[in-house]
Amino acid sequence: MEHGKRAWGATRRPDGAWDIATWAPSAEGVALVLDEARHSMERDAEGWHHIRVEAAPGARYGFEIGGRVFPDPASRRQDGGVAARSVLVDPGALIHHATWTGRDWAEAVILELHVGTFTAQGTLRAAAERLHGLADLGITAIGLMPLAQFEGERGWGYDGVLPYAIHPAYGTPDDMAAFVRIAHEAGLMVLIDAVYNHFGPEGDVLGQVCPEFFDAERHTPWGAAIDFDRPEVQDFFIGNAEMWLRDYRADGLRLDAVHQIGRAEDTWFLTRMAERLAPLEEKGRRIHLVTEDERNLASYVSGDHPIRAQWNDDWHHAIHCLLTGESASYYRPFSVDPFGDLVTAMRDGQVDQGQPRPHQDTPRGEPSGHLPPDHFVNANQTHDQVGNRAMGERLVALTDPATAQVVHAMLLCAPFIPMLFMGEEVGARAPFQFFTDFHGDLADAVRQGRRSEFPEFADARDEIPDPNARQTFADSRPYARAAEDAEDWRALTRHCLGLRHEHVIPLLSSGWHGTEVDRLSDRSLRARWRFADGTLEIAFTMEGEPPSGSDDMREIYYHKAETGAGLRVGIGDPQ
């Protein structure tokens, strides 16, 4: 390994034995408790405790420190909850789709899904049964919300405390491997949402086994900051990324809130991770990393390593303010001129690029107009923007559905990487609410915190769903009850993705040569993206007839809503 001398957790050797290690520099002695036997572990000068043992896969183990037995922080599977014994898992026994080498990033059309609410069963096996249908619709990538084990049975996944372990309510490591294999058989990439910026509020074993993992002098919204300056900490998370990509054969990662990884302007860990993962591509595979970065830093996104793109919340905010008129919180800067912000997003990807902006004390971002459009993942709604609303409403429930269909078609036809949130492809109206499964004082704190978060509900706080109520979780299943216009939405999605695969993706793959966007009026625009093999043009309006196409364009799509919104898409020859 590049940094630490040892790998975290249990590693199966070719001879069938196991190397088991954990980093606990403040612990004088650590013992491995393997089934009913206790084995003293060796300690080296860097604080690693390690041992080599014989055991069969499935054996239960833990680390005894100070008279208590803790699970392995790098546990692949738990024999129960987050405080239970860990279980030895042999990644070499997982069955994969041997011939799959991935897809080009330009082909990505992502559906973000939450395993627990995607189906009535809430499991990976049940979700896998729907993958071929999504592929038939034109989806090419599944974005799985976090799978790491957390306290309780149900939750978003962003409270994970055992990043290497599959949450047991979703299934086993074998189920995860089968999900990826079935996805690949359907032609779908699988991207894992990886949370490396914090741990959940309950069951964090690292805080007890290895307090040196954290920097007590720095804090994040979730507590003490993780100390990424330590090589052992870096190796913990890079080892986790390698697990998803190597052992489960996932195609990439969506890296959550990277602005909270390291210090305020740090990006070095992202590039280091990309460098460590790049050798997987040298073996004939394509690996894709996507970041969520509130800083709008663009300099580390490059075609030279696997960091392909960023989540582009600026696009979402402009669309949301344009269609809803909302102006609270982070929407406020985008509420001043949302159509103008949409023009900028069409041209440059990001809106905030370091320039002064209304209602912002400090500018954020870096210039992004030099980046090709496939360096941005655009979405009209995500788990964040829906679930962080008090009632969890989807965009289609907040605006005219016909207008929502126009911007849906525009998202799918534009050259940025489109992402849909599960149910969006069929116009689902079911909310996606914030839900957890905590108990006692923590449950009370989460409930009260949620109900005090939204000042507009000051006089009706009891209307905000209780995150810990099972009904809040059940109400968040998008396919439990089909919308009346679900088939119209499905047909629109299928048609637009057909156009994308036939016309847009070949242009993206040929190489981008520049973008021009004209604001034709307060409510109309025309955008042109030039590629080596041709030109894509989109004309969009919020009122009246969409602007006519340029003389050198042949129209491939036209959509006009009775509400006044309209879209025209054209394709032209190379210029």
Annotated binding-site residue? 406 = no
Task: Write the burial class of residue 130 (CB in 10 Å: 0-12 exposed, 13-18 middle, 19+ buried).
Answer: middle
Alpha carbon distances (Å) from 296 to 149, 293, 313, 351? 30, 6, 9, 9
* SS3 annotation, 328-378: CHHHHHHHCCHHHHHHHHHHHCCCCCCCCCCCCCCCCCCCCCCCCHHHEEE
Query: Among residues 72, 204, 251, 256, which one is catalytic?
Result: 256
State how far the Cα of 43 lies from the Cα of 25, in Å rounded to an integer.
Answer: 9
Long-range contacts of 359-365 (CB under 8 A, 24+ apart): 359/332, 359/333, 360/333, 364/294, 364/295, 364/296, 365/295, 365/296, 365/297, 365/298
State how far the Cα of 547 lies from the Cα of 479, in Å rounded to an integer.
Answer: 36
Annotated binding-site residue? 315 = yes
Positive or negative torsion for Cα 21, 26, 29, 31: negative
Annotated binding-site residue? 501 = no
Annotated binding-site residue? 258 = yes
Annotated binding-site residue? 195 = no
State how far the Cα of 548 lies from the Cα of 412, in Å rounded to an integer.
Answer: 20
Assess whether 533 carries a catalytic annotation. Answer: no
Annotated binding-site residue? 384 = yes
Query: Among residues 193, 204, 227, 292, which one is catalytic?
Result: 292
Positive or negative torsion for Cα 414, 420, 424, 430: negative
CB 87, CB 59: distance < 8 Å: yes
Nearest to 56 by CA among 93, 9, 96: 93
Enter the tokens of residue 40: 């003293």
Annotated binding-site residue? 385 = yes
CB 305, CB 271: distance < 8 Å: yes
CB 306, CB 281: distance < 8 Å: yes
Annotated binding-site residue? 569 = no
Annotated binding-site residue? 387 = yes
Identify the bridge partners of residue 53 per DSSP, sorted by sequence position: 18
Annotated binding-site residue? 314 = yes
Amino acid type, 149: Q
Annotated binding-site residue? 491 = no
Annotated binding-site residue? 9 = no
Buried b (16+ CB within 10 A) or exposed e, 326-354: beeeebbbbbebbbbbbbbbbbbbbbbbe
State how far the Cα of 485 lies from the Cα of 305, in Å rounded to an integer.
Answer: 42
Assess whether 292 carries a catalytic annotation. Answer: yes
Annotated binding-site residue? 341 = no
The counts of H helices and E strands in the chain are 17, 26
- Cite the annotated binding site for substrate by residue number: 254-259, 313-317, 383-388
* Active-site residue set: 256, 292
Q: Which residues are annotated as a binding site?
A: 254-259, 313-317, 383-388
